[in-house]
A and B are shown apart, each in its own frame.
Chain A
């Protein structure tokens, strides 16, 4: 006898929820393990080498060190020039509203 369609749907949905839950639970186990192992090691690196930024975008100095960049770095080569680097579109302007000691543009 063919299984009724609604049963197939309920079983499939339950299976999908189970897969998602397994992925979430597994990731949480992995998270604890990786946070305990990797984060202190990376913090040690940051502390000893006095690093300030992540090495993600190495194409320009203001994308390599967004936190250390001048306020108008993309436009330094020529005022009102267009942004050269694609990563500049990914990196949003930092929020300077609560800036403590920085100089505003």
Chain B
């Protein structure tokens, strides 16, 4: 009961300076919302990348020439097949295409010969014959092509080539296919003018996943000019890319964190003359030091908990309902084709608790400490100064 009365007094005290305190709640909530949005967004992307890249090739072998990625001879396929534990080995044909009409870059991929698989995330079908292609929804939008239309691209000899669009990837797969154009391999080789015995890189299947690193090391030993990239390295890359400690995310994260520190520092470095007077009067009418500290605890608690909860709700709605529309321009960069994010709501409760711990406790502490200094001073002296 006594505690509730002190809480009642604390809220009344906050209400007397309502404009100042409301503005603190708005700034504090915004700061927490930015921090939490970054954590939710990067965690969601990282977990999704980890899940969906589980079926990436076990090893992708590139050839390096003078430190640059170069086309790889296809006769290495047979050499890789001789390594024990290696299953299917396939040359991959793919490359990039700058589309002057839309100003966008597309990724062109060649499919193996043989019947193309049916994919759930594809409307129509993959190209089964020469002169056909399937496109990502970003390409479809930027070139305004649909199934049955023609997609005209300029090949390596500067000649426009028309491909029949036979499939469009559904927007649910945008995170993987937004800029893709899929052809038959032979079409792609001809389009790019690749030499006959060369591929972009080679994918290697390894039967036992525990042997992937060994097989990669054997490939490297056998062909020192190659660079094998294992599936675990691919997954780890995305772990690093979407780590909140990375690049721009770190910049935004720390800007928000510094804003919070300034807010807390401002509180911690002193209380106003009015607040000192209030403490002095309360002590003069019989409040003990512990009562004053409890009062200040509740003041800090009301502001920080309200801001924390509002900030978390805003971050949640921002990331999972609005697809992080405010942060998207930050991560979009100069990409002309950028997927509409539909974040899968992977949550890490640890992040929520850490955020709570790092925001509520420092704020409450920064409210109590200067009040404690005032509360232990003689009330008469406080009121005189």
Minimal Cβ-Cβ distance residue in A for B316? A23
Is B233 touching A46 in the complex (CB atoms < 8 A)? no
Please determine whether B176 and A63 come into contact, CB atoms closer than 8 angstroms. no
Contact B217 A100 (CB under 8 A): yes
> For the complex, would chain A's binding face be called helix, strand, loop or mixed by DSSP majority?
helix
Task: Among A39, A50, A89, point to the contact of B247 (Cβ < 8 A).
Answer: A89
Establish whether residues A92 and B246, one from each chain, have CB atoms under 8 Å apart when the complex forms.
Answer: yes
A-B contact number at CB 8 A:
244
Are A52 and B56 touching (Cβ within 8 A)? yes
Choose among B64, B69, B230, B237 the residue that contacts A101 (Cβ–Cβ < 8 A): B230
List the B residue with the shortest CB-CB distance to A54.
B175
Instruction: Tell me, yes or no, whether B22 is within 8 Å of chain A by CB.
Output: no
On whether the beta carbons of B248 and A59 are closer than 8 Å, the reply is no
Which of B6-14, B158-166, B266-274, B276-284 lies at the binding interface? B6-14
Q: Are B105 and A90 in contact (CB under 8 A)?
A: no
Q: Interface code B307-331, partner A: CB below 8 Å = 1, 0 otherwise?
A: 0011011001100100000000011
Cβ of B56: which chain A residues have Cβ within 8 Å of it? 46, 50-52
Binds A, one of B71-79, B186-194, B332-340, B370-378: B332-340
A92 near B67: Cβ-Cβ < 8 Å:
no
* Chain A residues within 8 Å of B201, by CB: 68
Give min CB distance, B116 to chain A, whole Å: 8
Task: Give min CB distance, A62 to chain B, whole Å.
Answer: 10
Q: Is A11 close to B, CB under 8 A?
A: no
Interface-centre pick from B48, B120, B335 (highest chain A CB count, 10 A)? B335
Given contacts A45-B121, A54-B49, contact A6 B234 (CB under 8 A): no
Answer whether residue B15 sits at the interface, using C-beta atoms and an 8 A cutoff.
yes
A76 close to B68 (CB less than 8 A): yes
Contacts A4-B8, A100-B233 given; indicate if A27 touches B347 (C-beta within 8 A).
yes
**B263 at the A/B interface (Cβ < 8 Å)?**
no
Cβ-defined contact, A54 with B120, below 8 A: no
B54 adjacent to chain A (CB < 8 Å): yes
Q: Which residues of B contact A95 (CB under 8 A)?
A: 236, 239-240
Q: Could you tell me if A56 and B105 are in contact, using CB atoms closer than 8 angstroms?
A: no
Which B residue sits closest to A26, measured CB to CB?
Answer: B345
**Minimum CB–CB distance for A76 against chain B, Å:** 7
The answer for the CA separation of A71 and B136 in the assembled complex, in Å, is: 28
Judging by beta carbons under 8 Å apart, are B241 and A66 in contact? yes
A13-B306, A20-B313, A56-B339 are contacts. A85–B334 as well, Cβ < 8 Å?
yes
Inter-chain contact A58/B104, CB cutoff 8 Å: yes
Is B213 in the interface zone, CB < 8 Å from A? yes
Tell me which of B15, B69, B320 contacts A68 (CB under 8 A): B69
Q: Using Cβ atoms and an 8 Å threshold, which residues of chain B touch A4?
A: 8
Contacting residue for B312 out of A9, A20, A39, A44, CB 8 A: A20
Pairwise interchain contact B313-A19, C-beta atoms closer than 8 A: yes
Known: A31-B344, A99-B233. A6 touches B176 (CB 8 A): no
- How close is B73's CB to chain A, nearest CB, in angstroms? 18
Q: What is the interface of chain A, defined by CB distance below 8 A to chain B?
A: 4-6, 8-9, 12-13, 16-17, 19-20, 23-24, 27-28, 30-31, 34-35, 38-39, 41-61, 63-64, 66-68, 70-72, 76, 85-96, 98-103
- Given A42-B51, A91-B241, 12 more contacts at CB 8 Å? A6-B4, A24-B316, A31-B344, A45-B176, A47-B55, A55-B136, A57-B338, A58-B338, A63-B335, A92-B247, A95-B236, A101-B230
